[in-house]
């Protein structure tokens, strides 16, 4: 005998809609978390023979990524913008940065931006004054970058904290210092590096070339 379905049962499409709403809510929550995050990545030897080093920041404070944050990095596609630059020091000891702001042209997960930002860093590094170059870097954030002075100052603070954490300024020489066997400036204290005069010079980059560029296994930043 045919049984009349229980009137309390929900149609399958209702369950699907509820699942989709839940999934959308989880994505938005993850995106709101990512919008507070920046990643600073430096191409230079830094401890234990590493060739690259990076820190994750919430605001201007370095944090240890949680499992949920790592999951968001690996699964949430979002719009990324980055400051790509090269740290330099001239023969008089003046530290400065040549940088440009780069916007990834499609939504992607964090891992997908690595090659593009490598290409951008390679370009801006190659165009810097050879004897002044120390190391290239990028600071990526999954949100629209504000070009106002306050935000540039914030990114400068993130860069200085990363350079200090990995002891880059006091351990990695410029090409001039390397050639004449001159030691980099001594590391007086952690606070000292936050007070140094780090000039920020914005430059243009060839955006189409970044997307056309191919991985170059022979190109290395370390000397």
pTM: 0.78
Kindly give the residue spans of alpha helices, DSSP state H, lying in the chain.
12-34, 67-75, 114-126, 149-165, 168-171, 175-179, 190-194, 207-212
On whether the CB atoms of residues 135 and 221 are closer than 8 A, the answer is yes
Q: Where are the domains of the chain?
A: 16-212
Sign of CA dihedral 60, 64, 65, 66: negative
* Distance of alpha carbon 112 from alpha carbon 104, whole angstroms: 10
The backbone region for 174, taken as left when phi is positive above 0, alpha when psi lies in -120 to 50, beta otherwise, is: beta
Average model confidence (pLDDT) across the chain: 78
Flag whether pLDDT at 50 surpasses 60.
Answer: no
Per-residue confidence (pLDDT) for residue 74, from 0 to 100: 83
Mean pLDDT in residue range 153-163: 89
Flag whether pLDDT at 16 surpasses 70.
Answer: no
Give the tens place of pLDDT for each residue, 62-114. 999 888 888 888 888 888 889 999 999 999 988 999 999 888 888 888 888 88
For every residue of 50-86, DSSP letters joined together read -SEEEEEEETTEEEPPPHHHHHHHHH--B--EEEEEE
Per-residue confidence (pLDDT) for residue 4, from 0 to 100: 46
């Amino acid at each position: 005998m045919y049984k009349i379905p229980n009137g309390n049962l929900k149609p399958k499409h209702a369950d699907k809609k509820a699942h989709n709403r839940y999934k959308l809510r989880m994505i938005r929550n993850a995106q709101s978390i990512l919008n507070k995050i920046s990643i600073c990545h430096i191409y230079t030897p830094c401890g234990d023979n590493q060739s690259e080093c990076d820190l994750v920041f919430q605001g201007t404070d370095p944090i240890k990524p949680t499992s949920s944050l790592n999951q968001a990095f690996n699964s949430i596609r979002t719009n990324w913008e980055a400051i790509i630059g090269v740290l330099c020091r001239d023969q008089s000891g003046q530290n400065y940065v040549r940088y440009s702001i780069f916007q990834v042209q499609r939504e992607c997960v964090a891992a997908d931006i690595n090659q593009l930002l490598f290409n951008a860093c390679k370009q801006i590094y190659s165009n810097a004054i050879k004897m002044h170059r120390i190391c290239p870097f990028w600071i990526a954030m999954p949100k629209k970058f504000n070009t106002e002075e306050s935000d540039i100052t914030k990114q400068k603070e993130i860069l200085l904290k990363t350079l200090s954490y990995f002891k880059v300024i006091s351990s990695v020489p410029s090409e001039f210092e390397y050639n004449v066997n001159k030691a980099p400036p001594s590391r007086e204290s952690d606070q000292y590096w936050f007070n140094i005069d780090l000039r920020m010079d914005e430059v243009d980059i060839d955006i189409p070339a970044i997307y056309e560029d191919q991985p170059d296994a022979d190109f290395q930043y370390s000397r």
